[in-house]
Structure 1
């Protein structure tokens, strides 16, 4: 039996430090735990929640880093992605936010049970380092990182 994918409106947050490094998470699809990859912080907006509020909440839940939703400013991009996660099909309408942050320790204490079994690490990457590493789930990730760095620097690449 074929099920229609679940459509979600999602906020993705790319924290950028002064050196132009972007904070990413290392995780897996619970259905494929042996395949690990780097991805951005974020998730679906709850009913009645703005995308900036969702982004700030996801940043707090997934990393322990607290920002005000207004700190996220205007989004710098959008994209759609279809994928499977934990045996279910999704289509995310993703809105990208960038926020300038000092490099800070990450805490996974806010993760729910499924997330705690699928997020393992966090690291600050330059786009070039991630490109060389080759463990990004979405081939657009490196370009999103470059755009986030440019966005927090006021459009200068």
Structure 2
């Protein structure tokens, strides 16, 4: 098997006033039948810190502007391996939390691969995450949210 490509990423748990988290629905272009839900965020640009990447990704993917101070320090870190578009990645990712009022999401900043592989978004309650049969990443998201934001 091919060695995994190392990648650093930042992710943002965007949580609304009702305690729901925003997730995008997407799929692997190399395996379009493999759909899943995932948090806001993505790979870091060269020289970019985790919080800088989180602020940039948040704006690109949702249209929401936040200062680095709004995100604070990472609340969780993980290393995950996954296939995407014919490659295998080993991703070190840091998670931030941003609480927002009910907002309209603007995906106009999606890049080419995001436009080709993301087909929706919605707000999820912790209870929905606990009972869904759909794939949601990261694994254990409901427990993480319960710890971080209550519910």
**TM-based fold match above 0.5:** yes
Q: Residue 39 of structure 1 contacts residue 137 of structure 1 at CA under 8 Å; is this kept in 2?
A: yes
- Residues 21 and 127 (structure 1 numbering): CA distance in 2 closer, same or farther, change over 3 Å? same
Q: Could you tell me which residue of structure 1 aligns to residue 31 of structure 2? A: 32
Task: State the distance in 1 between where 2:7 and 2:148 align.
Answer: 22
The answer to whether residue 141 in structure 2 is matched with residue 141 in structure 1 is: yes
Please give the TM-score of this superposition, normalised by the length of structure 1. Answer: 0.88
Aligned Cα RMSD in Å? 1.5
Please give the TM-score of this superposition, normalised by the length of structure 2. Answer: 0.91
Q: Could you tell me which residue of structure 2 aligns to residue 86 of structure 1? A: 85
Structure 1 stretches lacking a partner, 5+ long: 151-156
Q: Could you tell me which residue of structure 2 aligns to residue 97 of structure 1? A: 96
How many correspondences in the alignment?
150
Q: Residue 14 of structure 1 contacts residue 148 of structure 1 at CA under 8 Å; is this kept in 2?
A: no
Structure 1 residue ranges (4+ consecutive) displaced by more than 6 angstroms after TM superposition = none
Q: Could you tell me which residue of structure 2 aligns to residue 106 of structure 1? A: 105
Deviation string 1:22-64 (CA, Å, 9 cap, x unpaired) is: 1111111111112221111111111121111101111111122
Q: Residue 71 of structure 1 contacts residue 99 of structure 1 at CA under 8 Å; is this kept in 2?
A: yes
